[in-house]
Amino acid sequence: MTRPRVLVAGTGFGRAYLAAFERADLGFELAGILASGSARSRACAAHYGVPLWSSVAEVPGDVDLACVVVGGVMNGGPGPELSRALMRRGVHVLQEHPLHPDELVACLRAATESGVVFRLNTHYPHVEPVRRFIAAARRLVARQRPLFLDVTCAFQVLYTVFDILGQALGTIRPHGVDGALAETPEAPYRSLTGRFAGVPMSFRLQNELVPSDPDNYSHLFHRITLGTDGGHLTLVNTHGPVQWSMRPHMPGDMKDLVRFGDSAAPHLKVPSVEHLGPAQGASYDEVLRELWPQATARAVAALWDEVRSSADSRGHVQYHVALTKLAMRVSEACGPVRLRHPQAPPELLAASDLLEAPA
């Protein structure tokens, strides 16, 4: 059986897509790389043994699918133009986020006119711990009504957190932002309140950026807590762990007991915090070598499933237009991004650094 041939455009974050082709379980063939011809792009093409193309015109006609990992107007990149040009040639496109709403609509128009499938990929919902959180959240809201959301994220992944929430809750509306709380000078986070899928939400955004190193200096990527009557589910960090914390509730028989510990209530025997999956988050070596390539492989496979089912792109794009506009409202409410210029890299600590040294 012939494997679908895939083009990867861009070798920045595109390297996470390229690494997916080293996985034995990926049923796709890397056809080539579309990039500007930098030393890094040439090295990537040589490593994977594929051609390097510098324009869409050079791409052969046997490419089935393109992963366009090049930004749009919000990042100063030509990604949407590449996507539209490829779709006009009959290539199905997986475009890495973020895009402006106007760019999403233009890509939808190109996909419809060309009879191909277009999908926007926010990456993180395909990362294993986030998938675990989403699956658990769906089971939770099927049993109990969600009461609150507590969300923290970095500016660089602002848009993606709303896709995670949308998938976890199964809907996005009604949603809105009430406004940002008063700013605390020098604090890395701006706080605001609002609703997502009708659930009251407190939101903290690390609204700062280091221009010389824009991909670094986030305190964390995503932290999400979803609360119900029975307890709360937390994605502690993007790459895990996922925790369930049962709500503290003292049983009725306790008020007449001499000792608190004599209560026979069964729920007192349940751990107050339990892990869903590994108790530790993945190391960043594991993230880069395993979790991210696994996630991009899942995204490619999901797009191809849509292609085989002749899926329409309209509902998908409408969903992402709504999320993009919400992310833009949050950004506007929090004000201009504060630019930081640290003099030296941060001192990174492990948990072992915080433990008391053995005597």
185-243 pLDDT per residue, tens: 889 999 999 999 999 999 999 999 999 999 999 999 999 999 999 999 999 999 999 99
pLDDT for 104 equals 98
pLDDT for 263 equals 85
Does the residue 189 lie in any domain? Answer: yes
174 shares its domain with 259: yes
Pick the last residue of a domain from 239, 259, 282. Answer: 282
Q: At what angle do helices 79-88 and 101-114 cross, to 10 degrees?
A: 10
pLDDT for 250 equals 86
Report the domain count for the chain: 2
pLDDT for 133 equals 99
Q: Domain of residue 81: give its range.
A: 5-121
Q: Which two tokens stand for residue 293?
A: 């390539």
Whether 161 contacts 246, CB under 8 Å: no
CATH of the domain at 269: 3.30.360.10
Q: How far apart are CA 120 and CA 285, in angstroms?
A: 26
259 shares its domain with 143: yes
273 shares its domain with 188: yes
132 shares its domain with 48: no
Q: Which residues of the chain carry a pLDDT beneath 70? A: 1
Q: Which two tokens stand for residue 32?
A: 């080539």
pLDDT for 252 equals 84
The 10s digit of each residue's pLDDT in 299-337 is 999 999 999 999 999 999 999 999 999 999 999 999 999
- Which helix (DSSP H) or strand (DSSP E) does residue 16 occupy? helix 14-20
pLDDT for 192 equals 97
Does the residue 92 lie in any domain? Answer: yes
- Which helix (DSSP H) or strand (DSSP E) does residue 295 occupy? helix 292-308
